[in-house]
Every structure is written in structure tokens, then in C-alpha cells.
A = this chain, B = another copy of it.
């Protein structure tokens, strides 16, 4: 073994993030006992405080990890579409659908903002917003979207998506509600499409 030290450190960090992520995603941030989920990782709170400072520090690390995963997924989806507009719509719909996953919903859309405040001032700038912004920017450059402020549009869409996801996830009939929400969402996006003269 060349660098057992750094490897071990990275491993413990990863274990803490994984265990915390699971706890936050299931019982929520407030309901997650540090003693419990650090023990589940075969460690103690001492390790957590050493690496992340406090509970919110771990939450930030977890969010950063999830955000990175979401960003790559979104990029892949928009790249796979036949044309730019379609890619944009697919990306937005995928965003809603990702927000349906309980872990993402709970950590990224409920506890995250409640504990750390608005996404825009999180230390790790949100990759998903950036991905959306890039797509919008390209669409505007290509004349496919009406003139609208890029970041504002990204944030409005982000907000609409996350709320839609919450609505769907808590619905009695998620499939039907999902169709309802996605349909309306497509209409909303269609309204932003540049009208051909």
C-alpha cells in the first residue's frame, strides 16, 4: 500500500457522507441522530466533527455529492435529445422526475433549503441551476426562446419543478398527478418558445 493514510481518510469521509446521506434521506436532517448514523458507519461523532465541523457541514457535503450526480444526469439527458428545444424540455421534465426520488426530494428540496438557506448562497454553487442556465442561454442564442433573463428563468423553472415534484410525490395518485403536472409544465415551457414570425 502506497498511501494508506490518505486512502483511509478519504474512505472514512466517504463512509460518513454515505451514512449521513442515507439517514438524511430517510428520517430527515432533524431526525437523524449523529450518534446513530456515525455508529452505522462504524465510527463516532468525533470523526464527523473532525472532518465536517458540525452537522450542517456534513449536510453540505452530502448535498454537493447529490448535486454533482444530478448535474451529470441532466447533462446526459439534454445531450441525448434530437434537438435543442427538445433537450431543454427533456431536461426540465427529468428534473421533475429526479425530484420525485425521496432522497433527492428530502435532502435537496426540503431539508437543504430549510437548514442552509437559499440554494443560491450555498458555498457550492448549485450545478443543476447552472446546467439549466446553460441550456437556456443556448436556446436564446439560437433564437428558439423568447428574450428572458437567463438566471431568472432558470430559477423560476427550478422552483416550479421542485414544487411540482413535491405535489406529485405526496399525491394519492402519483401517476395521474405526474401526467397532470408534466402536461402543464410543458405548456408553461411552450409559452417561452419564440414565435416564428
- A192 at interface by CB-CB < 8 Å: yes
The answer to whether B156 touches A185 (Cβ under 8 A) is yes
How many monomers of this protein are in the complex? 2
Q: Which candidate, A40-48, A71-79, A143-151, is the interface stretch facing chain B? A: A143-151
**For the complex, what is the distance from the CA of A29 to the CA of B5, rounded to whole Å?**
42
Number of interface residues of A (CB under 8 A): 43
By secondary structure, the A interface counts as: helix
Give the nearest-CB partner of A146 in chain B.
B187
Q: Which candidate, A6-14, A17-25, A81-89, A109-117, is the interface stretch facing chain B? A: A109-117
Contact residues of A with B, CB < 8 Å? 30, 110-111, 113-115, 117-118, 120-121, 146-149, 151-153, 155-164, 166-167, 169-171, 180-181, 183-185, 187-188, 190-193
